[in-house]
Each structure stands twice: as structure tokens, then as C-alpha cells.
Structure 1
Amino acid sequence: MTTASFDPAALRAAVRGPVALPGEPEWDAARQAWNLAADQHPAAVLHATGPDDVIAAVGCARRAGLRVAPQGIGHGAGALGPLDDTLLLRTTRMTHVEVDAAARRARVEAGAAWEPVARLAGEHDLAALHGSSGTVGVAGYTLGGGLGWLARQHGLASEAVTAIELVTADGRLRRATAEQEPELFWALRGGGGSFGVVTALEFELFPLAEAYGGGIFWPGEHATAVMRAYREWAATLPDSVSTTVRLLRLPPFPQVPEPLRNVPIVDVGLVVAGDAASGAELVAPLLAATPPPLANRVGPLRAPDLAFVHGDPEQPVPGVGHHALLRELPDAAIDALVAVAGADSGSPLLSCELRQLGGALGRRAPGSGALGALDAAFALYGVGIPAGPEVAQAVQERLDAVVEAVAPWQAPTGYLNFADRPGGDSADLFDGATHARLLALKREVDPEGLIVSGHALALPAA
């Protein structure tokens, strides 16, 4: 594509939201995603104020030979790749959230983060299927599947969606439901954001009056023992419990408790959808099977607290990650992970995490979306902070080493929301039949490849 015919004045005249161009005073702030490692250089940035702006922007971009990259908050911005021929369409001014407690439904504009959804739903003892951070955007997270603390009980967040509104490459505002635009509705639930610019989503909420959870931390030298005990314990848990285990080296920030700063630790995180007494009973066997912890920060929770149990940063940070899905976690896999990311490995990574799958995540329901289920036992995700070129290279190399170390136990597919790196092949993330169906729909609704997203569906050259 060429940007020679792009007329910024025409775009500004067609939309209400602000447009930023290279060289203008507001440019660097406009192009900055949450992930500070994503150095985005699009042709222009539009902060859309609603569907009318999106419709106008898609038309202007198409006439100018630009692509369009929808972006909300931008946690997953690292996967987008080069944007020099692209209009970056930010939805961060589209943040309205409505909760219908009686119907147990929420309607959320595309730029909203999960924290206000969790808070408003929690006022009615309801919970959304958000992930481990309240700062993550609802739209991008949900389009990629959505793997959160209630997922083993209720499944992926994409499976709770009841309607999605989006502007497709032809400039049409469409509403996709099980009855209306059913193929789009299927694809958008876990198949990613390649099919249009989402403007709003509607989804189910779930009863959750109280929960129990938090994190338990041990010295890193106990990683092997803790991870093996964790594996045995996790296999006994009901679907109402979701867990993680992480090899961590937390930065020496004031918000990090002093005993946990800048030392290797191993952490088990958990959420029990139930009362404190039953939660403590479920956790007791893990504590009995492990050495005394450095810190035990597990306790009663309300529904809105779940958005911050994981302790993810609440302000923008740089990060690069890599992932794999694992079919199983034998002793050899644990030993391999500890060797490459544990206390004595010299790893520059911030975290090497295993998220327990199974339960509802492994059951594909009738009418499910493009992802529907995850056919694996654990999701592995490693992340590091690229503080300068040398550290960035060391982080990338260690991420490669982590994924290579667990290669013998990898599942054949991946998970879109953990696929952080640009230039990835979407065919690696889905089974063959699903990927072919997604490509067929992309060819139908966007044959010129106008809409781009992380790990986009690349149409074969004609």
C-alpha cells in the first residue's frame, strides 16, 4: 500500500476525535501503548469518540491506501508489527460501561478496561470473566479468548459474549450475535481482531458473592519442591478453583513487600469461588506439602478484587513475552523450567508462569466460538522487562530458551492473547480447520486486508 494519497485534513474534517500526526506536539503521547516496549510509528493516530468516527476513519483510510489497526489500551501492542502504512485507531475515549444486574449482562464500549466492569458488577455480587489485570482492555482480551480467574468454572471470556458491534472494512456498522451475522459472531469469539473495528461488546455476568484467594510465596531455592507439590495439589481441585505457579524475580519497587524484592521466589496464586472457610480447607493440603512460605497473602475477597490478585503493574511498563501450551507437566518439565528460569539460572526474566487449565476450559460447548476451549493442561507464559538493548536481547534469548525447554510437552496449538511477538503465524495458534474457516471469513469481509491486528490473518497473495 502507499500513503501518498493520505490527506490528514480530510480525516480531521470527517471525525470528532483528535487526529495526531508525526512531528506534532501530541504525537508521542498519542502513539504510546500501555506496553512501553511497543515503539509504534503509524501514519497517523485517531482517538475515536464513537462508531461514527470509526466508520469515517475506515472510509478515509481505504481511499488513502492505508490499513487500519484498532487499539484500545495496548497491552498486546508488541504483536502488531510495523505500522508505517497504517492508521492507528485508538478507542480509549470509548469507555462507557453499563451493567444490567437483573439480566446479569454488561454492555461495554471497546476502549474500556476491566477494572470499572469488575467494580460495577461487584456492587451486585456479580463477576465478569476478566483476566489477571484490571488495566487490560475488555475488547482485545475478549477477542483473543480471555483466560481469567473464573475460567475453569465458566470457560473463556469469549464464550460469555452475547453480542459484538463492529465496523467492517466496507464501512458498515454490524451487530454480530448467534442469530445475526453468525459467522462473524463465531470468529470474533477467540479468533482475534482481524475482522473489523469493534465498537462495543455485550456479555454475561456470573454470581459471585465472595471468594478466597491471593498468593503464597517461597524462596526460589524451593522451586522444584513447590512446583511438584503444586502439580499434585492442582490435580485434585474442583473447577471452582483456578491457580497459577510462577518463578519470579520482582523488581525493587516500594509497592513490592521487602522480603520479596529482587530475590528469586516461587509463587502459587489462586482464586476459590467460594467462602473463606471452604477456601482455606482447599489450600491446606498445599501448605502441608511444601516448606514454610516467605509470605502467605491469601484471604477473603470480593468480586472486584479478582482483577488485582495477580499483582500485575497498574501503570504502563515495557514488557516482552513468549508462550506455549503444555499437554502435561511431568517432573522432567518442571526440572527443565527450573533449570532455565529458576533461582540459579541467571534468568533476566521477571516471571515464568504456568496457568492451570482444565475444567470448563477443556469442554467445547455447542455454539462455541472460534477458540471455544483450550486442549491443554497448562498455559506457560514468560515475560521480561527490556531495559536497554543488551537486556532486551538477553530477555528474548531466555524466552526462546524457556519455550524450547518445554518443547517435548507442548500442545500443537497456542493462545492468541499470550502470543506477544510481532510477525507470528496465526496458523500456529489454531487447528487447521479453524484457521481455514477464519481465513475464509477474512477473505469475505476484508479481501484487501484493510484491518490489521496482532498475529493477523494474512490472506495469500492472489
Structure 2
Amino acid sequence: MSTNTLDAARLRTELAGSLVLPGDPGWDEARQAWQLAVDQRPDAVVVATTTDDVIATVNAARAAGLRVAAQSTGHNAAPLGSLAGTVLLRTSGMTGISVDPTAATVRVGAGLLWGDVTAAVAPHGLTGLAGTAADVGVVGYTLGGGLSWLGRAHGLAANHVISADVVTADGVLRHVSADSEPELFWAIRGGGGSFAVVAALEISLVPVPELHGGTLFFPLERAAQVLEAWREWTALVPREITSVGRLLRFPPVPEIPEPVRGQSFAVVEVVSLLGGTATDELLAPLRDLGPVLDTVHPTTPVELATIHMDPPGPAPAVGDGFLLTDLTAEALDTFLSVTGPDADFPLLSTEIRHLGGALAPDESTGGAVSGFEARYALFTAALTPDEASVKATHVVLDRLRDALRAWTAPVSYLNFAERRGGAPFADETTLQRLRQVKDRYDPADVIRGNHHVEPHSR
């Protein structure tokens, strides 16, 4: 298909936002994903600013025999694959926000970033279940589940969605909630973006307790000692503690802060919802190991986005991840045999996140994915400035996945799965139910998600 089939002149008259076609000024900027390693080439890009723009785009694409892929920032864009025959619907201009501090809720437009939301609700003593980076879009992150620094205490972000305004493949704006079209409401909470284009979400917030957070840095050569101590420590900490065991190999580039630039570390990142005394007591076994740098301190929800040291903007990066049913001593040894200081492992970051607590599936009865049958989540990433480095990174990622196969969960976490062909993000019963929702609302498969759920007719 080509843009010749799209009634571009008519669509432009219906949009408050803009339509950008190949060859137009701003085309490359409009189609660019956050992951600069992904070269997105849709048939057209619509930069929406209103819900009516979304409706007009869906109707125009459907009439032209094209599909629609909604995208705010373009994190985790790679699994979309080819965008031939697709209108890329950029929602980044839909940035409305309304906070109700009495009800402890926030309504956000589809283009809002977590950093914007966190800053807006913080003065009310509230926060949402944001991820580790401030520039991640609220909607895409939440549709994929949403794994937060506060997740072990409060569960997945998807479980905190109260309602959503969505546009389905027939161009109809629907308000979905537990009481209104509950099956579609169920599907979008953890099932991804295959079922409708989300125009806005209403989300419940949580009160902000006394927060502590930061990182313990150790030389990479001590990775085995540090991560083994962290592994044993995670079996003892309460759900108010969320932590990450991580290996970092920082390149010598100006974008990396001076204290760590060009160096390699084994680190433990920690966020605690407990008071200072209780946090210090729990951290004592790790601090007794003698970190070369200890940044754990009283912090705020806004500052939480700095702990993980994610890139502050779009980057040429490739990553992938999967869930681990457990992290035994043998599993950790295997992990380090591939990633540790004695291994030829050139990737920037490899992390293992502690799950459990309110992230366990029996803790919540939310949407399609409301928890994980896994105790840890693994994610690793590399800077990939060219296609050769992308391919080389995939080889290394495959080697790590193969080594840990005995401990890999049968399902993945949608937001950490940045390639196709891995484990499904839900069990077969859930996937069948999701396909039934797709059959009902989008039998012609107009709406595309980055981890796509097809109708039974496809």
C-alpha cells in the first residue's frame, strides 16, 4: 500500500494537528522513535493534538485500507517491525492533565510523559507508579503493565487505571472502565496497544511516604561477591524495598557523569518506602561490603527518575529482557559467566530487578496482566550506533538468554521484550481471551500494537 490511497487532502482539513508524508519537511523528525536504532518508515505520520484527530486518523486509515500504530515517544519501537501500510499516529501533542488531589487521581492525555505527571502531582503529596525514566510515555508504559520503583509495595501501574477514553477501529470514542465495556478495559491493562488507540487515562495515585533511594557502587571485579550478597538480601527484605542488581560498563563519553565516566561497576540500586532508621538497618549488610560510592539518601518522587541513570533523551540503543522464575546461586553464577568481569560482554547495562510483593499475580485481579509468576526480571541494553553493532548486540543477548534458559519464565514482561520471537507476554488462556476482545472490537486488524495480538481471522 502507499500514501496514494490515503485521502491526505481531506484528512488535513479534519486535523487540529498535522499530517506529514514522505518527502514533506519534518518527515524524518515526525517518524523518529526514541530508539534511534529503529528506522521507522510508515506510509504517513499524523501528529495528533486532540481526540478528534485520533478519530479522523483511524477513519481515514481504515477507509484507505491502512492500519494505525499509536506511539507517543517510541520506546520499545522495534517489535512493531515494518510500518509499510501503516499510519503512525504520534500522540505526543496530547498533553492535557487534570489532578484531583481529593480523590487521589489524575487524568492524563496520551502524550504525557511520566516526568510531567510526577511533577504535577508531587505538590499534593501523591505520586503515580512511574518507571525508572522521566521521559517514558505514561500510556504506552501502562498498557504494557508498568514496572515501578514502588511496584513491590503497590503492584503494576496497569492495576491503577480507573478508566480510559479510547478510539476503536470503527472510529468510535468509548469510555471504558470496570462498569463500561469491561472486556476492553481488561484487555488494555497489560495487554498492550492492539485493541484501541488510547486518548486519555484516569489513574489512581498513591500517597508519598518518607522515601529513600540511591545506588551502592562497587568495582566490577567484585560482581560475584556483591550480587551474591544482594541475591541473599532480596529473600529477606519487605515489600517496601525495591532493588536492582546491575552491571554497568560506562563508555568514556561526555554524556556520562564525571564520577563514573569510562568506569565499570557492579551496583545495587535501592528505593525504600520505610523511614531512615529502618532503611539504614536493612542496608547494613550491603554497606558492610564497602561500596566505593553510596548515594542512598532521602529523596522525592521526582528524583527517583535519576537513580537508574537512563539516557535523558533519544538514543541509538538496543535492549531485551525476560523474566526469571528464580535466582538461585547456580543461576547467578551462570549469569556472571556470561556478563561478569571475566567475560567478553561489551554491553552497557545488564540488570536483574527484584519482583514479588504486590507484583505477584495473586496480589491483584486487575487486567490482562496484573502480576508476574516470576521472582526477578532481567534486562540488558547496549548503545548501537550502526546496524553492525545492532546485530552484534543481538548475538550477545541470545547467548545470555540461552545460558539462563533453565530459569527463564514461560512468559515475558511486555515492556522489557524489545524483540519479536521471544516468550509470549501472557499464558495461552489469557492470549485467547485477548484475541476474543480483538475479534469484537477490531476484526479487520486495523489497530497495531508493538507486541501485537491478532484477531482469530488473521
Partner residue in 2 for 1:308: 306
Aligned counterparts of 1:299 and 1:355: Cα–Cα separation in 2: 20
Partner residue in 2 for 1:456: 452
**Which of 418, 421, 424 is 1:420 aligned to?**
418
Contact preservation (8 Å) 1:209, 1:302: no
Aligned counterparts of 1:35 and 1:96: Cα–Cα separation in 2: 25
Contact preservation (8 Å) 1:340, 1:347: yes
Partner residue in 2 for 1:387: 385
Contact preservation (8 Å) 2:442, 2:455: no
**Which of 405, 408, 411 is 1:410 aligned to?**
408
1:438 aligns with 2:437: no
1:176 aligns with 2:173: no
| CA displacement at 1:281 relative to structure 2 | 1.8
What is the identity, as a one-letter code, of the residue corresponding to 1:140?
Answer: G
1:148 aligns with 2:148: yes
Contact preservation (8 Å) 2:2, 2:43: no
Partner residue in 1 for 2:165: 165
Aligned counterparts of 1:257 and 1:307: Cα–Cα separation in 2: 15
What is the identity, as a one-letter code, of the residue corresponding to 1:377?
Answer: R
Contact preservation (8 Å) 2:133, 2:306: yes
| CA displacement at 1:3 relative to structure 2 | 5.2
Where does structure 1 lack aligned partners over 5 or more consecutive residues? none
| CA displacement at 1:254 relative to structure 2 | 3.5
| CA displacement at 1:370 relative to structure 2 | 0.5
Contact preservation (8 Å) 1:251, 1:261: yes
| CA displacement at 1:259 relative to structure 2 | 4.6
In terms of mean alpha carbon deviation, does 437-446 or 7-16 score higher?
A: 7-16
| CA displacement at 1:373 relative to structure 2 | 0.9
Contact preservation (8 Å) 1:210, 1:303: no
| CA displacement at 1:24 relative to structure 2 | 1.3
Superposed CA deviations along residues 83-133 of structure 1, whole A, max 9, x for unmatched, are 021000000000122221111101100100000111121111111101101
What is the identity, as a one-letter code, of the residue corresponding to 2:38?
Answer: A
Partner residue in 2 for 1:319: 317
| CA displacement at 1:52 relative to structure 2 | 0.5
What is the TM-score with the length of structure 1 in the denominator? 0.96
In terms of mean alpha carbon deviation, does 155-164 or 77-86 score higher?
A: 77-86
Contact preservation (8 Å) 2:37, 2:385: no
What is the identity, as a one-letter code, of the residue corresponding to 1:13?
Answer: T
| CA displacement at 1:419 relative to structure 2 | 1.0
**Which of 396, 399, 403 is 2:397 aligned to?**
399
Aligned counterparts of 1:378 and 1:407: Cα–Cα separation in 2: 14
| CA displacement at 1:437 relative to structure 2 | 0.2
| CA displacement at 1:367 relative to structure 2 | 4.1
Aligned counterparts of 2:252 and 2:103: Cα–Cα separation in 1: 45
Q: Secondary structure at the match of 1:274?
A: coil
| CA displacement at 1:262 relative to structure 2 | 2.6
Superposed CA deviations along residues 63-87 of structure 1, whole A, max 9, x for unmatched, are 1111000000111112211002100
What is the identity, as a one-letter code, of the residue corresponding to 2:238?
Answer: P
Aligned counterparts of 2:434 and 2:268: Cα–Cα separation in 1: 36
Partner residue in 2 for 1:100: 100
**Which of 292, 295, 301 is 2:293 aligned to?**
295
Superposed CA deviations along residues 246-284 of structure 1, whole A, max 9, x for unmatched, are 111122233534452233311110100133232222211
What is the identity, as a one-letter code, of the residue corresponding to 1:455?
Answer: H
Partner residue in 2 for 1:270: 270
Number of aligned pairs?
A: 458
Q: Secondary structure at the match of 1:307?
A: helix
Partner residue in 1 for 2:18: 18
What is the identity, as a one-letter code, of the residue corresponding to 1:78?
Answer: A
1:46 aligns with 2:35: no
Q: Secondary structure at the match of 1:165?
A: strand
Aligned counterparts of 1:259 and 1:168: Cα–Cα separation in 2: 49
What is the identity, as a one-letter code, of the residue corresponding to 1:328?
Answer: D
In terms of mean alpha carbon deviation, does 277-286 or 214-223 score higher?
A: 277-286
**Structure 1 ranges of 4+ moved more than 6 A:** none
Contact preservation (8 Å) 1:66, 1:87: yes
Aligned counterparts of 2:173 and 2:158: Cα–Cα separation in 1: 20
- Supply the RMSD in Å over aligned alpha carbons: 1.5
Where does structure 2 lack aligned partners over 5 or more consecutive residues? none
Q: Secondary structure at the match of 2:216?
A: strand
Q: Secondary structure at the match of 1:303?
A: coil
Q: Percent identity?
A: 45
Contact preservation (8 Å) 1:215, 1:297: yes
Aligned counterparts of 2:255 and 2:388: Cα–Cα separation in 1: 27
Q: Secondary structure at the match of 2:201?
A: strand
Contact preservation (8 Å) 2:125, 2:208: yes
Superposed CA deviations along residues 132-162 of structure 1, whole A, max 9, x for unmatched, are 0111000000000000100000000000110
| CA displacement at 1:390 relative to structure 2 | 2.7
In terms of mean alpha carbon deviation, does 301-310 or 67-76 score higher?
A: 301-310
Partner residue in 1 for 2:223: 223
Partner residue in 1 for 2:327: 329
Pair 1:56–1:43, CA change in 2 (3 A): same
Partner residue in 2 for 1:350: 348
| CA displacement at 1:454 relative to structure 2 | 0.7
Aligned counterparts of 2:78 and 2:125: Cα–Cα separation in 1: 35
Aligned counterparts of 2:5 and 2:407: Cα–Cα separation in 1: 50
Aligned counterparts of 1:86 and 1:416: Cα–Cα separation in 2: 22
Aligned counterparts of 1:65 and 1:255: Cα–Cα separation in 2: 44
What is the identity, as a one-letter code, of the residue corresponding to 2:394?
Answer: Q
| CA displacement at 1:163 relative to structure 2 | 0.4
